[in-house]
Structures are given as C-alpha cells and as structure tokens.
Amino acid sequence: MKPFVDEGRLLPRSFETINNSIDDFIVIENENEVIACAGLKVYQHEKVGEIYALVVNKAFHNTDTSSKLMHLLIDKASGMGLSSIFALSKYGGRFFFRFDFNEAKLSSLPESRQKSYDYERSSMIYLRKL
C-alpha cells in the first residue's frame, strides 16, 4: 500500500487500523508475496459493503490481477447477502465501470458513511447493486 499512499492515491492507515480490520481484507499472493489487496467493510444494518484500500502491485498491473481481486470482492459481498457495494475513489472510474458500478450520490451511502465523507478529498462514489 505504501507506494500508493506516498502518491496520494490511497489514504494512509496505521498498522493498528489494518490489524483491527484484517478480516475485511482479501489478498492475492504470488510466490508467497502479497501482490494485491482490498478491504470490504460491511454496514450490516443497511446490508451494504464498502470496498476500500484496493491496490495492486505495479509490477502486476495489466495482468488481470485487479479483475480477479474485484471478482473475489463481489463474490464475498454476494455470499454475505449484501444488496450493494460501493467504493470511493478519485482515480478509478473506468475500472469500476468495467464491473457494472455506476456513479452515485452521497445520499446513497449508509448514513454513518455519509457523515464521515471527506469533502476536501471529494472522491467520486461508485455503487453496484448485487
């Protein structure tokens, strides 16, 4: 994650934050090294999931690794009985559109997530019904 945090493409997260939410994460490995990961935070009351911290090692860009990761996230969310998933991103429109996400309004997010939306970062909201 660090190179993407350094570029400003990903929000920084402490070791403690990641450790406390480790069950959210899906990882893809190559030769015992993590090459891609993403978290799926569940808003149980609303039956909605948020994809966050989605990154693929630059050496594995254009190798279908990101597609494999997204399919794993969609499968996990579907298996949990969620009605939709969303992601906030400043950079990933084309990527999310490939997986049937649509741009959405802030009001489509769970109320608790609306309250924590970072207006300064002003990320786009991508939503996919499951």
Q: Please determine, for residue 6, whether its predicted confidence score (pLDDT) is greater than 90.
A: no
Q: What is the pTM of this model?
A: 0.89
E strand or H helix at 12: none
**What confidence tens digit (pLDDT) does each residue in 25-37 have?**
999 999 999 999 9
Domains in the chain, start-ordered, CATH in brackets? Answer: 2-129 (3.40.630.30)
What residue type is 69 in one-letter code?
L
**pLDDT at res. 3:** 65
Token pair for 43? 């808003």
